[in-house]
């Protein structure tokens, strides 16, 4: 993956600049997304017994492993959650999934789990910076959601991230109304708004990337809305990507390693590995 990637010219979506990352079009591994497996009724989320705020279960009866991204939202049941770490659930298997609450004011059942949005980069950056003990992580996520509710003037009786997206649905849709897809060489992108790099995502191959493209771009658009009044200043996206790839090349990748973190002075991130191959990486400036 790392030997072949290259940054392409940006695509302008209002004040959001999406810099495609080109790479290998296919890696020969078929992966499903949450939305696909739930639509096919080949998998389901459920609360543990007893329910646990930081864990839910996923039963995958599909024919392919299911990739869940850090920050993807699962709504319903006892409360809305977001995936804490990118995870790959094997086919015909059940796995506990690490999650973080994204709805501080509710702990009562309202039906079955369903897929939601993807957390905006501001929240995913918090997930990437946490330490092994995760001290204060939940409170930092709740505080960021409360900040976003305030600046977007969103009313939410349960302090729910989901309500922010619902409130700004029309504005987010304007960002993608003329957007179809990035080309077949794309395996990820870096998002920039105003004078700020929002973050980036990188995948095993184009087929995997394409399954998450619209959900991710909408999440970056939600942060771009907040940067609309910022001065447009050219930022060095090339150097940012080179710093990330340099750190990745120093990582010792083995068949036993499943997750890894990137923690440097100027950026942080996390990645998922399967059978010695990087499946997904997310990275954000500090």
pLDDT of residue 189: 98
Supply the pLDDT for residue 275: 85
Task: Identify the pLDDT of residue 132.
Answer: 61
**pTM exceeds cut of 0.85:** yes
Question: Is 266 part of a structural domain of the chain?
Answer: yes
Q: In the prediction, which pLDDT does 26 show? A: 67
Span 113-158, pLDDT tens digits: 999 999 999 999 999 998 666 678 999 999 999 999 999 999 999 9
User: Containing domain of residue 15, as a range?
Assistant: 6-285
- The CA distances from residue 144 to 104, 135, 148, 207, in Å, are 12, 16, 6, 32
CA–CA distance, 188 with 2 (Å, rounded to integer): 12
> Does residue 14 fall inside a structural domain?
yes
Determine the Cα–Cα distance for residues 191 and 14; give it in Å rounded to an integer.
Answer: 12
Q: Is residue 150 part of a domain?
A: yes
1 lies in some domain:
no
Does residue 180 belong to any structural domain of this protein? yes
Q: How many domains does the chain have?
A: 1
pLDDT in tens, 221-242: 999 999 998 877 789 999 999 9
Give the residue with greater pLDDT, 265 vs 93.
Answer: 93
**What pLDDT is stored for residue 252 in this prediction?**
76
pLDDT digits (tens, 9 = 90+) for 20-68: 999 976 677 899 999 999 999 999 999 999 999 999 999 999 999 999 9
Residues of the chain above pLDDT 70, percent: 96
Whether 220 is covered by a domain: the verdict is yes
b/e code 152-166 from CB counts within 10 Å (16+ = b):
bebebeebbbbbbbe
Q: Is the pLDDT of residue 257 over 70?
A: no
Strand partners, 52: 55
């Amino acid at each position: 993956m790392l030997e072949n990637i290259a940054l392409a010219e940006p695509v302008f979506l209002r004040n959001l600049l999406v810099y495609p990352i080109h790479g290998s079009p296919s890696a020969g591994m078929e992966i499903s997304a949450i939305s696909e497996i739930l639509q096919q009724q080949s998998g389901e989320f459920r609360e543990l017994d007893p329910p646990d705020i930081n864990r839910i279960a996923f039963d995958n009866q599909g024919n392919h492993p299911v990739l869940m991204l850090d920050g993807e939202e699962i709504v319903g049941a006892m409360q809305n959650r977001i995936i804490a770490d990118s995870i790959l659930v094997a086919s015909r298997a059940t796995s506990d999934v690490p999650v973080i609450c994204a709805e501080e004011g509710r702990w009562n059942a309202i039906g079955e789990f369903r897929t939601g949005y993807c957390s905006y980069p501001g929240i995913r950056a918090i997930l990437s910076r946490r330490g092994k003990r995760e001290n204060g992580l939940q409170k930092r996520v709740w505080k960021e959601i409360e900040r976003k509710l305030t600046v977007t003037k969103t009313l939410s009786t349960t302090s729910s991230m989901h309500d922010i997206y619902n409130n700004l649905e029309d504005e987010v849709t304007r960002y993608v109304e003329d957007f179809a897809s990035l080309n077949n060489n794309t395996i990820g992108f870096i998002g920039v708004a105003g004078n700020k790099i929002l973050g980036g995502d990188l995948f095993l191959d184009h087929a995997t990337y394409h399954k998450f493209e619209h959900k991710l771009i909408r999440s970056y658009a939600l942060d771009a809305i907040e940067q609309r009044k910022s001065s447009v200043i050219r930022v060095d996206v090339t150097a940012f990507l080179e710093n990330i790839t340099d750190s990745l090349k120093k990582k010792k990748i083995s068949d036993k390693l499943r997750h890894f973190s990137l923690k440097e002075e100027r950026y942080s991130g996390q990645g998922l590995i399967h059978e010695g191959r990087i499946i997904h990486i997310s990275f954000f400036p500090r």
